[in-house]
Structure 1
Amino acid sequence: MLQILLVTLPFFALVLCGFAATWRGALPLSAIPGLNGYVLFFALPAMLFQFGARTPLAQLLDVPVFASYTAVALVMVALAVLVSRKPWRAGPPAMGWNDSAFGALVAAFPNTGFMGVPLLVALLGQAAAGPMIVMIAVDMVLTSSLCIALSRLDSEGGWRIALRQALRGMAGNPMPWAIALGVLFSALQWQWPGPVARTLDMLAQSASPVALFTIGAVLARSQRLMREDHSHRIAWSEVLPVTLLKLFVHPLMMALALKAMALLGAGVPPTTATVLIVAAALPSASNVSLLAERMGANNGRIARIILVTTAAAFFTFALILSALQR
């Protein structure tokens, strides 16, 4: 386990650096959208393209991986909605659909893009890239769209509008297109000309440190804004259930789904299974906070869940990976 912590420490240390720089005012809040834009539109798409282009096509089109992760994502959304709305309790539900849906998204969407891909490739090698790309595609296309649609159930006809907005947002997101282009290059064995390839290499190499620093900055900004807004407090009872779902139930559901797939004769190699389980143990995706703010959900709660899962995952992630490698 100590060896795992030594590998993961720099990744979490960069998150802490971004948090401290923003919390202490060394990084202005106005600079965070620029950092986020650089990661989302330049560095991360370059990294995902390269992983896609360098990964064998069979790993990128792995049906058992897609089916098992999709099933787990749907189960996690259902569990998180149940935890938030408490339909078994007499009286009104604990939360409306908007807050419940984004609680579900933050429980089901691990931080695969900003943190997971570089971290798991560093820990488990290039073979981790294929399953991670499948996970990113499922979460960006299916999980996000489903939760956005659920968030509009409180308003008549709103879910249709929200679903259209989600699909438009997905079409404008460069990451799915970068993955698709990488798959095309992998299938046809294409190569970019030398100068273009070197430019992509430079962008891809910057993705991990800048993305991790940006995670910390986004979390610190959310905490600062929440601290300045005294209109309502975030109770731990609104945070801990979803945190436990993300860090412990998600990888457990992933392990059970893989076991079920094996019983059905569609098992995956042990290395792939390890990647999927520990990826499910990653903290919540930081971009859910930005999406929740845009859709009018209780972003203070979502940001607190992301912060707690990120801090706790330094230990829980290493414990789960260490247990799998025994």
Structure 2
Amino acid sequence: MFAAILNGLLPVAFVIFLGWMSARIKWLKHEDAKVLATLVIKFALPFALFSGAVRTSPDKLQHAGFALTLALGLMGTYFIALCIGRFVFRHDLRTSTIQALVCAFPDMAYFGAPILSALFGPEGFLAVLVGNLITSIVMLPLTIVLTENTEHRKPNDTAFLLFLRSIGGAISNPMVWLPVLGIVISMARVPIPGPALRSVDLIGTAAGGTSLFALGLMLYGEPFLINRDVLTNLLLKNFGQPLLMFLGAAMFGLSGSMAHQTIVTGAVPTATAAAMFALRTQTYTANATATILISTLLGIVTEALLIAAMFH
């Protein structure tokens, strides 16, 4: 058990610290994280997901319960947070939507992928693959529609057109179409030559370390803020979402590795991309960045507790 925790989390904490320290001693700047993030999101992680997909058994790719569990955990948390922001905290719709994104969007690219890979091997990318499709095709387009400023819309723009346009943008993203291509190849049982797979792996293996280093850079200088919103966000993201994943796994008959993957994914801290949406809409920025910072620190602890419980 202790070895599993160390193998899964010590490398994550170490590389995040290296990224943070590189900004602290001014070897790199906070802004340099954008270059590393582009490398991860456009190249390294899409190819890592592709590699994981083609190596995953078609039987597991066809497991509807796995996708339904992830959808319940991701979108269930989203709608719970949206209702809390709108009807409990009395935020406007735009602010409530960004709060929902902050609570429901796990950092699968930077934080989750290295942990899942360390715990479950190439199969661990399955949760990142399916979760990424749900966030890219459902959660993010819905967020764009709900936060769109009506006075900046074109006269013929409806919510449905905005939703379709955002889905089109998501589908053209390598983070979506490359993993889908890997799924198709796996389902068709098309063999991939060894040299081709090794070529993909060469860039794909850069995803884990580079993403965590970039995360450390991003977190440097972020404000440490505690208030009602931040505490609620942490409760929903770090504890509520893995609980929903656990309930989903029980409802849809998941067990073993597949159930564990969904729960670990639920406990992954808030994605840094949520802060980008807050900046873009110029709302909820301070609460979003504070949640990401504290959620990441807390995520190391909650992931360790989960790993201890699952591998005892």
**Alignment pair present for 1:214 and 2:214:** yes
**Alignment pair present for 1:78 and 2:69:** no
Unaligned runs of 5+ in 1: 228-233, 262-266
Change (3 A) 1:308 1:199: same
Determine the C-alpha separation between the residues in 2 that align with 1:159 and 1:292: 20
Moved more, 236-245 or 67-76: 67-76
> How much has 1:109 moved relative to structure 2?
1.6
Give the match for residue 101 of structure 2.
105
> How much has 1:214 moved relative to structure 2?
0.9
CA contact (8 A) 2:108 2:271 kept: yes
1:115-155 CA-partner distances (Å, limit 9, x unpaired): 22231121133443333321221122112222222223876
**Alignment pair present for 1:293 and 2:285:** no
1:134-182 CA-partner distances (Å, limit 9, x unpaired): 1221122112222222223876877456534522431332111111111
Unaligned runs of 5+ in 2: none
CA contact (8 A) 1:132 1:276 kept: no
Aligned counterparts, 1:104-183, within 5 A? 104-152=100-148, 159-160=159-160, 162-183=162-183
CA contact (8 A) 1:110 1:284 kept: yes
> How much has 1:259 moved relative to structure 2?
1.8
What is the total number of aligned residue pairs between the two structures? 307
Determine the C-alpha separation between the residues in 2 that align with 1:168 and 1:198: 31
TM-score using structure 2 length: 0.88
Aligned counterparts, 1:30-109, within 5 A? 30-85=31-86, 87-88=87-88, 93=90, 95-109=91-105
CA contact (8 A) 2:2 2:308 kept: no
> How much has 1:313 moved relative to structure 2?
1.1
> How much has 1:220 moved relative to structure 2?
2.1
Give the match for residue 246 of structure 1.
237
Aligned counterparts, 1:260-299, within 5 A? 260-261=251-252, 267-299=253-285
1:11-45 CA-partner distances (Å, limit 9, x unpaired): 12111211222244321244222111111111111
Consecutive aligned runs of 4 or more in structure 1 exceeding 6 Å deviation: 153-158
Determine the C-alpha separation between the residues in 2 that align with 1:178 and 1:135: 14
Given residue 125 of structure 1, which amino acid in structure 2 is its aligned partner? G
Aligned counterparts, 1:4-23, within 5 A? 4-7=4-7, 8-23=9-24
Given residue 280 of structure 1, which amino acid in structure 2 is its aligned partner? G
1:183-223 CA-partner distances (Å, limit 9, x unpaired): 122123335556543332210111110011111112226x2
Determine the C-alpha separation between the residues in 1 that align with 2:236 and 2:46: 29
> How much has 1:5 moved relative to structure 2?
3.1
> How much has 1:57 moved relative to structure 2?
1.6
Moved more, 108-117 or 201-210: 108-117
> How much has 1:309 moved relative to structure 2?
0.8
1:34-66 CA-partner distances (Å, limit 9, x unpaired): 111111111111111100111112212221111
| RMSD of aligned residue pairs (Cα, Å) | 2.5
> How much has 1:239 moved relative to structure 2?
0.9
Give the match for residue 301 of structure 2.
315
Determine the C-alpha separation between the residues in 2 that align with 1:16 and 1:165: 38
3-state SS of the aligned residue for 1:284? coil
TM-score using structure 1 length: 0.85
